Structure 1
Amino acid sequence: MKKLTLYTLSLLLCCLAPAYAQKQTPPEGGKPKDFKLPNKEEGSLDNGLGYTLVPYGAVPKAQVSLVVKTGNIHEAENEVWLSDFMGNLMKEGTLTTKGKDLSLRMARMGGDLNINVDPNTTTISGNVLSEFVPELIQLIADVVQNPAFPESEAERLKNDLKRQLSVSSNTPQSQASSRFFALMYPEHSYGRIFPTQEMIEGFTAAKARQFYETNFGARRSVLYVAGKFNKAQAEEAIRASFSGWLQGPEPKYPTPTAQPSQEVAVIDRPNAPQSTLMLGLPVIDPSQPDYLPLQVTNALLGGSFGSRITSNIREDKGYTYSPFSTVNVRKGAAVWYEQADVTTEHTQASLQEITKEVKRLQQEAPTAAELEGIQNYQAGIFVLQNSTPQGIIGQLNFLDLHGLPDSYLTNYVQNVYAITPEKVKEMTAKYLDTQKMTLVVVGDKKEIEKQMKGDQSLKVN
């Protein structure tokens, strides 16, 4: 009987424990602290190469990244993705080391070699054990100064790009992005997202080398080392490995010319169960004082899971699963847009709710409590981004690309919390004019046009 009673009591306590726990109010999370930039050492070589050394953390590893200020932005109109092809071909070896041997050397150092091309930069990087930092610096120097561009690998890499193009360009999200940015930047490389199969077919090792020789050089490059490493050995390796690199061209980015327009473009996908929406317009870039307040405004409006647009068309209406808005940043330009995959029958209703939320924030400031939740989110994300050597290098490169001072990072958290509800309202009214937004819809054109027919403010193309 005693054992039975104890068993019954234990069972009762087990059942009550979850219910009791559910009634407890969890403690409030602390506010993120200001970011303290680790002590860094900056220098340059006579040929113009800049370098930044950032000792950080206790794990015996370090990230080495060479950032070259060139990328898709410098491609000709008929050679979209040529810089990507060049980057892929650079991994296939140098004049002294074959691609397979490069991979083996990186594996021995505890990492692998990455070459990433984006609209504004090309980054050659690796993450290795601390003792191998000087050797990785030497390897990266060999890759960027002595690329072999083997013609024997060109056809295989072109086929890889063709497959990538075939897959990525046929999704509704990619089709919407391609059309949207073409409308935003009609005369600029920022508006050219995808090549044609014919463009890729025309790529050769010689064209990759020509792009490299035209756009690579020490004056366009910055080498970052972050993590746990020996600074004296790293600096010695930089000077020994990069001093002989040719200066190359000065950094130069073609000026973007973003153009807002009240245009509606529909890409037909007959009988599609969903419509993919992209609605947005050009806004300010990070060099402008209002950029950070605009970022916080975006997070409140549509750029976080608890944002207004997400709560409206996802939680309340059930029109979509994962809508989001963002400030898409490039050198010298930025675009705000909302993107959502919505059920076809709710295409027009979703657009109405999105624009309604924008207009509501233009007319009425958020409460202090709502804004504080967004500020906690924005500051917290920022702190997390700076918690790794790769993250710190990313932030330092962001400063360099957009000409920002270190104080942008060190004062970021306090500046986020200094933004007022009235400032959010002001940013929405100043920069998010719904009358100037471009709309792209990918879906069943017949059904979409039927829904939009009664809206005189929309002119479907």
Structure 2
Amino acid sequence: MTVTAGAGPDASTTGHRDAAQIGRTEAGPRPLPPLGDQRAVAGLAPVSRTLPSGLRVIVVARRTVPTVELRLRVPLAGAEPTHPARAELLASAILSGTERRGRVEIDDELAGIGGDLAVMVDPERLLVSGSGLAAGLPTLLDVLADLLTSATYPDSDFGRERERLVERITVARSQPRTLAREALQRRRYGDHPAAREMPLAQDVAAVAPDDVRALHQAAVLPSGSSLVLVGDLDPDQAIDQVAKALGDWSTAGQASELAELPMLTGRDLLLVDRPGAVQSQLRLSAQAVPRTDERYAAVQLANLMFGGYFSSRLVENLREDKGYTYSASSHLEYTPSAATLLVETDVTTEVTAAALLETRYEMARLSAVPPTEADLESARNYAIGSLLISLDSQPGLASTLSGLAGVGLGAEWLSGHPARLAAVTPDQVARAAEEFFTPTAFTGVVLGDTSVVGTRLRALGGVELP
């Protein structure tokens, strides 16, 4: 079928209008419709209760679909050098079986409620994520309780999980992004446990099933942990179901929180040699402020305008104007007590020094040339809109609440944040830029071929060569 009504000059011959024709009228380009009013954060009305075991349970009724999302956060930090290897194997093998269920039985019971469970670990915590039909919550909780109280880590399955983990680590450490991340963590935190995000393959290979069983018994504890449920639930009834299902979870001891991280201070970037590399990885980081700080909203918006979304100054400079990279970004990384700024981009080896120069230039320009009201409004709309989108789904809301619970915040912080963003002025953004985006406030690494990039980086300054 050929559509010609209202077509542009070529529609009669081509039979369709291209994007340029659709976007124009005889008077010129079609104006964009105005943005509608921002919606407020929907009433969350969480119900929270701390069980006798010390487990904090937070439930939010969200009856959009008849399902439930589960997030269990267990602090699982450890200072011992081989702790990451044991923790990773715990997360990899915990679903292998329990005293009551084998791996197949676990999968079958979860499938019967349209559910699943996944486990991951980092230097700070063990996180169990799950979902299923709301009517199947008792089954989901029963399987979870079984894993928490009687996971067996059977020898045969454990060996296969260990081999797979060694292989994944070996492959990951061949990737430049992984190498850059590890170098950045060492530059930021030295020997702090937070720097050991990925265990050594040889440490994993040396872990025995009994090592992981002992870690589970000693460290996977309810006191200090939090469980978030979001879905088609009655909150009080759901908490009662949790109390019943997890009543046998050990009450001895306290889950282990990550030791306080050192505050970042500005110093030279470290050039890490990667001979023959055709790309360089730039990773810059500086200290920021926690979400409870009155400056946080201004820092968040300053970060967006610098490199936090596609319309940012860094993207426009490095990608759109210079063509140095496909992707450049900055974002806030949250730690238990604060936050850090992370700027990252990958560029061809030949433009490494030029890309670093332009990155520093944009940092300085953020305070020297404050944003206009239009720039600020664009970033503000993006920040508020992104927050609302993240809370629209059950999984997004559950993950957000779990992350906030880990730093002692709750739904009231979410509800009040759009208003805090709306109150930020261009002057406040400029002050935040002066304090947090000054180039000398950053440290970090450049991963690249020293024989190619070293001379120019030395001339640029602010880079420590190997």
> Which range, TM-score by smaller chain?
over 0.9
Structure 1 283/232 Cα, relative in aligned 2: closer, same or farther at 3 Å? closer
Q: 1:434 aligns with which of 435, 439, 447?
A: 439
Alpha-carbon distance in structure 2 between the residues aligned to 1:371 and 1:103 = 49
Q: 1:278 aligns with which of 271, 278, 283?
A: 283
TM-score by length of 2: 0.91
Structure 1 350/13 Cα, relative in aligned 2: closer, same or farther at 3 Å? closer
State how 1:75-86 maps to structure 2 within 5 Å: 76-86=80-90
Alpha-carbon distance in structure 2 between the residues aligned to 1:10 and 1:367 = 41
Which deviations, in whole Å up to 9, do the C-alpha atoms of 1:244-297 show, x marking residues without a partner?
322133343312114424233222233322111112223223343322321211
Matched, 1:87 2:91: yes
Structure 1 452/131 Cα, relative in aligned 2: closer, same or farther at 3 Å? same
Deviation for aligned residue 1:183: 1.2
State how 1:12-411 maps to structure 2 within 5 Å: 14-15=15-16, 19-22=21-24, 23-70=29-76, 73-74=77-78, 76-231=80-235, 233-251=237-255, 252-411=257-416
The total of aligned residue pairs comes to: 452
Which stretch of the first structure deviates more once superposed, 353-362 or 398-407? 398-407
Q: 1:420 aligns with which of 414, 417, 425?
A: 425
Deviation for aligned residue 1:20: 4.8
Which deviations, in whole Å up to 9, do the C-alpha atoms of 1:77-98 show, x marking residues without a partner?
2332421211122111111111
Deviation for aligned residue 1:231: 4.3
Which deviations, in whole Å up to 9, do the C-alpha atoms of 1:134-185 show, x marking residues without a partner?
2111211111111112222222111111111112122111111101111111
Match of 2:463, SS state, is coil
Alpha-carbon distance in structure 2 between the residues aligned to 1:437 and 1:10 = 55
Alpha-carbon distance in structure 2 between the residues aligned to 1:397 and 1:144 = 18
Structure 1 81/166 Cα, relative in aligned 2: closer, same or farther at 3 Å? same
Listed as ranges, the gaps of 5+ residues in structure 2 are: 1-8
Q: Which amino acid aligns with 2:357?
A: Q
Match of 2:223, SS state, is helix
Structure 1 410/21 Cα, relative in aligned 2: closer, same or farther at 3 Å? same
Contact map agreement 1:92 1:153 (CA 8 A) in 2: yes
CA RMSD of aligned residues (A): 2.2
Structure 1 101/156 Cα, relative in aligned 2: closer, same or farther at 3 Å? same
Match of 1:193, SS state, is coil
Which deviations, in whole Å up to 9, do the C-alpha atoms of 1:107-149 show, x marking residues without a partner?
1111222112233222223211121112111211111111112
Contact map agreement 1:183 1:259 (CA 8 A) in 2: no
Alpha-carbon distance in structure 1 between the residues aligned to 2:18 and 2:279 = 44
Which deviations, in whole Å up to 9, do the C-alpha atoms of 1:384-433 show, x marking residues without a partner?
11011121122222222112253320011121121111111111111223
Contact map agreement 2:61 2:233 (CA 8 A) in 1: yes
Alpha-carbon distance in structure 2 between the residues aligned to 1:222 and 1:176 = 32
Match of 2:146, SS state, is helix
Alpha-carbon distance in structure 2 between the residues aligned to 1:406 and 1:351 = 39
Contact map agreement 1:327 1:336 (CA 8 A) in 2: yes
Deviation for aligned residue 1:16: 6.1
- 1:3 is matched with none
Alpha-carbon distance in structure 1 between the residues aligned to 2:374 and 2:441 = 31
Alpha-carbon distance in structure 2 between the residues aligned to 1:179 and 1:240 = 46
Which deviations, in whole Å up to 9, do the C-alpha atoms of 1:186-213 show, x marking residues without a partner?
1311112332221111111111122222
Q: Which amino acid aligns with 2:173?
A: S
Contact map agreement 1:67 1:222 (CA 8 A) in 2: yes
Alpha-carbon distance in structure 1 between the residues aligned to 2:198 and 2:373 = 43
- Determine what percentage of the aligned residue pairs are the same residue: 24
Match of 1:452, SS state, is helix
Contact map agreement 1:294 1:427 (CA 8 A) in 2: yes
Contact map agreement 1:64 1:133 (CA 8 A) in 2: no
